[in-house]
Amino acid sequence: MTKGTTMSGCRVEVKGTGEYPVLLIAPHCPEEAQTFEIACSLAEDLDAFMVCNTGWDRGSAVDHFNDTADCNNLNHLLGDDVLKSEFLDPIIRFVSKMRNDGITSIYVYIIHGMNYPGKDKPDIILGGGQDRSSCEPWRLEAFAYSLLSAGLTVGEGAANGRFAGRSKRNLNQLFNKKSKVWYRDPDIHSLQVEIDRTWRGSAVESKVITSALYDAIRNTVNLGGSGFDKEVGLELY
């Protein structure tokens, strides 16, 4: 791994090489336990690209000197040159590298941690942007099917909820196929992956969920553009 260094130290870790058409992003590692370790393991095992925020504490405004910003907020990422150069520019650079290497269809997985309330909570909630789609619904369903086959409970983010990755300022919308802003690209399939804290309490638990995510990514990528015709029927959260 290589680190992006700034005046206040190392705040972003990246893996800037890879043969697999996947970019893993973890924007809230300081607050969301084990998301960095999960993204790192997946990037190494898949030989994929990776960008992780490890030093910007989540904040409502960008403050270089106190290391606060929201790396999942496109208004922050595009509105501040320092934050953009550290976190957003590597994302764009790695996508461009994959394009230059002849990769036409690129998969972006944005790894988050969630603390969903209640006893009957899913292990993972997937956000494909709903009607502001960041990936085709069948790709989300294929990904979910693989996780369900591993014995996990999986939900889908509701359009009016906080797990869909639907907001125009959400990082999941960076490459939105229908967007007239940001970096519109119809051949980039972006999916927000929310992992419940029950799977992020220790390295042992995170290894279990990482293995399931590895299989889900491989299975989805292997489908290419062929589609997916199995009924999944995910509950909305």
For the chain, give the mean pLDDT: 91
DSSP 165-196: --STTBGGGTT-TT-SSTT--TTEEEEEEEEE
Tell me what percent of the residues of the chain surpass a pLDDT of 90: 79
Tokens of 142: 């294929």
The answer, yes or no, to whether residue 200 has pLDDT greater than 90, is: yes
- What pairs with residue 23 in β-bridges? 49, 108
> Could you give the CA distance from residue 141 to residue 176 in angstroms, rounded to a whole number?
18
What average pLDDT score do residues 196-205 get? 91
pLDDT for the residue numbered 179:
64
Is 60 exceeded by the pLDDT of residue 28?
yes
Domain 2-223: give its CATH code.
Answer: 3.40.630.40
Distance CA 89, CA 106 (A): 17
pLDDT tens per residue, range 133-190: 899 999 999 999 999 999 999 999 998 889 999 998 999 999 986 666 678 888 999 9
User: For residue 185, what pLDDT is reported?
Assistant: 87
Enumerate residues 6+ apart whose C-beta is below 8 A from 1. Answer: 13, 14, 15, 40, 50
Q: Is residue 6's pLDDT more than 60? A: no
